[in-house]
Chain A
Amino acid sequence: MPQQVTRLGIAFAVLAIVFVAVRQTLVPDTFGDAGHYRAAAVDSIEAQPLKYAGHEACTMCHRPIADKRSASNHSGVSCEVCHGPAAEHVAAPGNVRPRAPRERGFCPLCHGYNASRPSGFPQIDPVAHNPTVPCMTCHDPHAPEPPVIPGECRACHGQIASTKAVSHHAVLPCLTCHDAPEEHKATPRAVRPGKPSSRDFCGGCHAEGADSPPHIPGVDMATHGEDYLCWQCHYPHHPEAE
């Protein structure tokens, strides 16, 4: 056998032995038992002290506030979301007090304007919206209601309003298509607005032979779009058809 092969063989064998030895030493014993991780990590994490108490623990002592919150628009927001981990407070209520965020930067974490948030979710521009005044001055975080009920749809649905404003439907008021009870403005989640649920609604303007101006596109409602509702294919706030 050529000398090169034996020497290289020795070098590679040494490397392989070192690799196996390092692997034996460094790979944790329980690695791979339950997946591509150290199975004992679950026990290590379990052994860590609890920091959150859970909203039920809060309710036991703070029932009036808890009831108020659970009936409000913040019913889905747990106490510790704003007040922080409260396990220490539950263990020693007199010694540890949970935080109560009053700075202006806190509420906009959820309520600052962001185009990707759902339309209708209350959002403000923190720079322009009553600058320097703490949010709690006007809004009660345990029962947040706007101090003034918005008069226009665009107060909450600004994104849709701006889109519609440059569309062929710009002249149509929102209430042409949506039935929005007055209560929706004060309790937007409890009372929801409706939207057209039949093809005939759009057909009122867009069916062939409908009593509408000639520049409005018309289709044969019997054959066009099978059984789909119109808004399943066309976006009514910015309809694409010319």
Chain B
Amino acid sequence: MQGYIYPNEFELRWGLLIVLYPYLTGLVAGAFILASLARVFNVKEVEPTYRLALLTALAFLIVAPLPLVAHLGHPERSYEIFLTPNRKSAMAMFGFVYAWYLMVVLLLEIWFDYRRDLVLTAREATGPRKWFYYTLTLGATDLSDRALQFDDRVGRWITIIGIPSAFLLHGYVGFIFGSVKANPWWSSVLMPVVFLFSAIVSGIALVMIIYLVATLFRSKKVDMGCADKLASFLFYAIVVDFSLEMLDFIHRLYEAEESIEILSQLIEGRLFVSLIVLQIVLGTLVPLISLGVVSPALSKRSIARIPAEVRRLIYLGCAILVQIGIFSIRWNVVIGGQLFSKSLRGLTAYKAELLGLEGLLVAGVLLVLPFLVLGVLVKILPPWPDTELPASPEA
């Protein structure tokens, strides 16, 4: 503790799990926006990741509310948010945003996209597996051209509805923080927009990591056209995201409200490593420059000619750095906003515990869990395109 702190500000109310929650929902929204690039905006190069992005979004969406449930306690009461909705509470209405996104957007889109595969698998399989896949088709086994065209058309429309829904899902998280008017670190109309674009950045980077690593383990050849396009989009998204963050920063500096002094102390002291080093330098500038030089984002043939194998590694490194950077953004918002006193005259400190319901261990489990869920989903609904090539010995 340093300076003057009110007694109820010593201890932070929102800890590591609340950092995790916007991080996970951001990945959901970002992965979905990536999927929409292939489906709605007809970016052919990223098609190999279309289904993977959808399944990633679903896996992370399933896990996203768990940090909240763990933080609030009493998971046995969590369903009440649906039974007795409080329409005046933005937090309570999230339950419906979540349900809408899960049921109407993601599950429906995945169902329409996979229906043909589900029917074919159900026909070929035997025993319980057959019934499992048949149940997943909901009995809709019509594979006529007309039915398949209908699937495609509806899937496209759902993606179109899904884009504003994904914006709503993660914009809402920023909205929650942005509308806390008593907190000068949070209260900003730019907050939902900044959250949204950082979500897109993190989602694209995550799908890129999963695609590159999974392809390696499956001994297949990485589609470098796809990886280059992903890297380019990652570059563009970082540019927009970083510009918005800087706009927010400059706006605060120019506005120079009475909180500016304590906020500069916060940035120079408590948040120096997580904001300046991790978020801005390692999480933004290093990937931005690397991708700008290596990927074909700025010129068709990329500024530096680098062999595909090295390029892949650089992309992977950048995507991992971006994840660290985006996690730091969530950390800086959630934890940073609680480190200074409402008196604007003191700073407190936060130290995450190892064990306990809100400790590092639980956070680690919740970070690994979506990958396990994704593993199961990939097993049930293989997302890999049929046209893949096996990895050549020299690749």
Contacts of A36 in B (CB 8 A): 84, 86, 88
Q: Chain A CB within 10 Å — which of B6, B80, B84, B111 has the most?
A: B84
Q: Does B256 contact A (CB under 8 A)?
A: no
- Can you name the residue of chain B whose Cβ is closest to the Cβ of A26? B83
Q: Enumerate chain B residues within 8 angstroms of A11, measured Cβ to Cβ.
A: 138
The residue that A8 contacts in the complex, of B86, B108, B142, B146, with Cβ under 8 A, is: B108
Q: Which of B147-155, B181-189, B260-268 contacts A (4 or more CB under 8 A)?
A: B147-155
CB pair A7–B140 under 8 Å, yes or no, is yes
CB distance from B99 to the nearest CB of A (A): 10
Q: Note all chain B residues with C-beta closer than 8 A to A114.
A: 7
Kindly identify, within residues 93 to 117 of chain A, every residue whose CB is under 8 Å from any CB belonging to chain B: 114-116
**Are B138 and A8 neighbours in the complex by a CB distance under 8 Å?**
yes
Q: Is the CB of B7 within 8 A of A7?
A: no
Contact A7 B139 (CB under 8 A): yes
B115 at the binding interface (Cβ < 8 Å): yes
B78-136 with Cβ < 8 A to chain A:
80, 82-84, 86, 88, 103, 108, 111-112, 115
Contact A3/B84 with A8-B138, A115-B4, A116-B6 known, Cβ cut-off 8 Å: no
CA–CA, A36 and B147, complex, Å: 46
Bound state CA distance, A91 and B5, in angstroms? 44
A36 to B86, CA, bound (A): 7
Minimum CB–CB distance for A3 against chain B, Å: 4
Residue of A nearest to B137 (CB): A7
Q: Within the assembled complex, what's the spacing in Å between the Cα atoms of A62 and B24? A: 61
A137–B228 Cα distance when bound, in Å, is: 79
A115 with B5: in contact, given A4-B140, A36-B86 (CB under 8 Å)? yes
A116 touches B7 (CB 8 A): yes
Most B C-beta atoms less than 10 A away, residue of A4, A6, A32: A4
Chain A residues with CB under 8 A of B343: 116
Residue of B nearest to A115 (CB): B4
Closest to B92 in A: A36
Q: Which residues of B sit under 8 angstroms from A171, Cβ to Cβ?
A: none
- B84: which A residues are within 8 A, CB to CB? 27, 31-32, 36
- Could you tell me the distance between the alpha carbons of A3 and B138 in the complex, rounded to whole angstroms? 10
Measured as residues with beta carbon below 8 angstroms from the partner, the interface class of chain A is 20 to 34
Number of residues from B at the complex interface, CB < 8 A:
27
Q: Does A49 contact B (CB under 8 A)?
A: no
Output the least CB separation between A185 and chain B (Å): 26
Q: What mask results when residues 310 to 342 of chain B are scored 1 for a CB within 8 Å of chain A, else 0?
A: 000000000000000000000000000000000
CB-CB < 8 A to B108: which residues of A?
8
The smallest C-beta distance from B115 to any residue of chain A, in angstroms, reads 7
Chain A residue numbers with a CB within 8 Å of B86 are 36
Give chain A interface residues in 9-41, CB to chain B under 8 Å.
10-11, 15, 19, 22-23, 26-27, 31-32, 36
Most chain B beta carbons < 10 A, residue from A10, A31, A115: A115
Q: Kindly supply a per-residue 1/0 record for chain B positions 148-185, scoring 1 wherever the CB is within 8 Å of any chain A CB and 0 otherwise.
A: 00110010000000000000000000000000000000
Kindly report which residue of chain B lies nearest to residue A11, judged by CB atoms.
Answer: B138
Which B residues are in CB contact (< 8 Å) with A64?
Answer: none
* Smallest CB separation, B169 vs chain A (Å): 20
Contact partner of B147 (CB less than 8 A), chosen from A2, A8, A31, is A2
CB pair B154 A4 closer than 8 Å: yes
How many Å lie between the Cα of A26 and that of B82 in the bound state? Answer: 11
Decide: A27 near B6, CB < 8 A? Known: A3-B140, A4-B112, A8-B138: no
Q: Which residues of A contact B137 (CB under 8 A)?
A: 7
> In the complex, which of the residues B103, B115, B139, B343 has the most CB atoms of chain A within 10 Å of its own CB atom?
B139
A23/B112 in contact, CB under 8 A: no
A15: B residues at CB distance < 8 A: 103
Once the chains are docked, how many angstroms separate the CA of A241 from the CA of B294?
55
Q: Which of A6, A8, A10, A27: most chain B Cβ within 10 A?
A: A8
In the complex formed, the residue of B with least CB distance to A28 is B84
Whether A7 touches B4, Cβ cut-off 8 Å, given contacts A2-B150, A31-B84, is no
Cβ–Cβ < 8 Å partners of B140 in chain A? 3-4, 6-8
- On chain A, the residues within 8 Å of B80 by CB distance are 26
Q: What is the CA–CA distance of A87 and B284 in the complex, to the nearest angstrom?
A: 64
A24: min CB distance to chain B, Å: 10
Which residue from chain A places its CB closest to the CB of B112 in the assembled complex? A4
Compute how far the CA of A143 lies from the CA of B23 in the bound complex, rounded to whole angstroms: 56
In the complex, per-residue mask of B50-94: 1 if CB is within 8 Å of any chain A CB, else 0: 000000000000000000000000000000101110101000000
B5 surroundings in chain A (CB, below 8 A):
115-116
> Which chain B residue has the least Cβ–Cβ distance from A37?
B84
A23 to B, closest residue via Cβ? B83
Closest to B9 in A: A116
Contacts of A7 in B (CB 8 A): 137-140
Q: Is the CB of B115 within 8 A of A4?
A: yes
A-side contacts of B88, CB under 8 Å: 36
Of A3, A27, A31, the residue contacting B142 (CB under 8 A) is: A3
Q: Which residue on B lies nearest to A22, using beta carbons? A: B83
What are 12 pairs between A and B in contact, CB < 8 Å? A3-B141, A3-B147, A4-B140, A4-B147, A4-B151, A7-B139, A7-B140, A8-B111, A10-B138, A15-B103, A36-B84, A116-B7
List 7 additional contacts besides A10-B138, A36-B86; criterion CB under 8 Å: A4-B142, A7-B137, A7-B138, A8-B108, A11-B138, A32-B84, A116-B343
Please list the residues of chain B having a beta carbon within 8 angstroms of any beta carbon in chain A.
4-7, 80, 82-84, 86, 88, 103, 108, 111-112, 115, 137-142, 146-147, 150-151, 154, 343
